Amino acid sequence: MKLIFVSLFTLFAFSFSYSQSQEFEDITLEMLRETQSPSDPSAVAEVLYEKGEISFSVINSWEYQFEVIRRIKIYSQEGYNQANVQIQYYVGDKNADKESVSNIDGYVYFEKDGEIEREKLRNRDIFDVDLSDMWEAKKFTLPKIQDGVIIEYSYTINSPNIFNLPKWVFQNTIPTRYSEYTTRIPGEYLAYSIKTKGYYPFETFSDVKESSLAGFRARTSIKESKHIGTNLPKIENESFVNNVSNYLPSISYELSSYKTSQHEANKSVSKTWDDVVKTLSDTDTYKKEISRSNYFEDDLKAILKDKTLPTDKMNTIFNFVKNKMTWNDEERRYSSDKLDKIYEEGVGNSADINVMLIAMLREANLDANPVLSSTISNGIPLFPTISGFNYVFAHVNINGEIYLLDATDEYTSPNILPKRALNWTGTIIKSNGFESLDLKPSSRSRKKFQIQAELTSEGEVNGMCRIISLDQYGLESRRSLNKKSDDELKLKYESAYSVNKIEEISNSNLKDTSKPLLEGFTFSGKEQFVEKIGDKLYLSPMLFLKLKENPFKEEERVYPIDFTFPRNVEHFITIKIPEGYLVDYLPEKAIFKLGDGVAQLTYLIEVYNNMILVKVNLEVNVALFLPQDYSLLREFYISLMNKENEKIVLVKS
Confidence class for position 217, pLDDT limits 50, 70, 90: low
- pLDDT value of position 253: 93
pLDDT attached to residue 264: 77
Please tell me the distance from the alpha carbon of residue 339 to that of residue 278, in angstroms, as a whole number.
22
pLDDT band, very low/low/confident/very high, at 20 (cuts 50, 70, 90): low
CB 189 within 8 A of CB 227: no
What pLDDT is recorded for position 3? 44
Query: How many other C-beta atoms can be found within 10 angstroms of the C-beta atom of residue 306?
Result: 7
Going along the chain from its start, the domains and CATH numbers come out as: 32-268 (2.60.40.3140), 274-438 (3.10.620.30), 445-652 (2.60.120.1130)
Q: What is the pLDDT of residue 82?
A: 97
Strands of 150-266 (E only): list them: 150-159, 168-169, 176-186, 190-197, 203-212, 219-232, 250-258
Q: Is residue 523 within 8 Å of 499, Cβ to Cβ? A: yes
The mean per-residue pLDDT over the stretch 394-404 comes to 97
Average pLDDT value for residue range 158-176: 95
Residue 2 has pLDDT above 50, yes or no: no
Alpha-carbon distance of 573 to 351, in angstroms, equals 45
Dihedral sign for Cα atoms in the order 495, 501, 507, 511: positive
Q: Which residue, 392, 339, 387, 341, is CA-closest to 368?
A: 392
Give the whole-number percent of the chain exceeding pLDDT 70: 95
Task: Report, as an integer, the average pLDDT of 97-122.
Answer: 96
Res. 526: pLDDT tops 90: no
- Residue (of 228, 266, 209, 235) closest to 43 by Cα position: 235
Between these two residues, 222 and 446, which has the higher pLDDT value?
446
On whether the CB atoms of residues 242 and 562 are closer than 8 A, the answer is: yes
Please give the pLDDT value at position 449.
97
**Greater model confidence, 128 or 387:** 128
pLDDT tens digit string along 300-334? 999 999 999 999 999 999 999 999 999 999 999 99
Please state the rounded mean pLDDT for residues 525-534.
83
Bridge-based pairing state of the strands 461-469 and 501-508 = unpaired
Mean pLDDT rounded to a whole number for the chain = 90
Question: Has residue 155 got a pLDDT over 60?
Answer: yes
Mean pLDDT of the region 437-461 = 93
Q: What is the pLDDT of residue 36?
A: 96
More confident residue, 268 or 169: 169
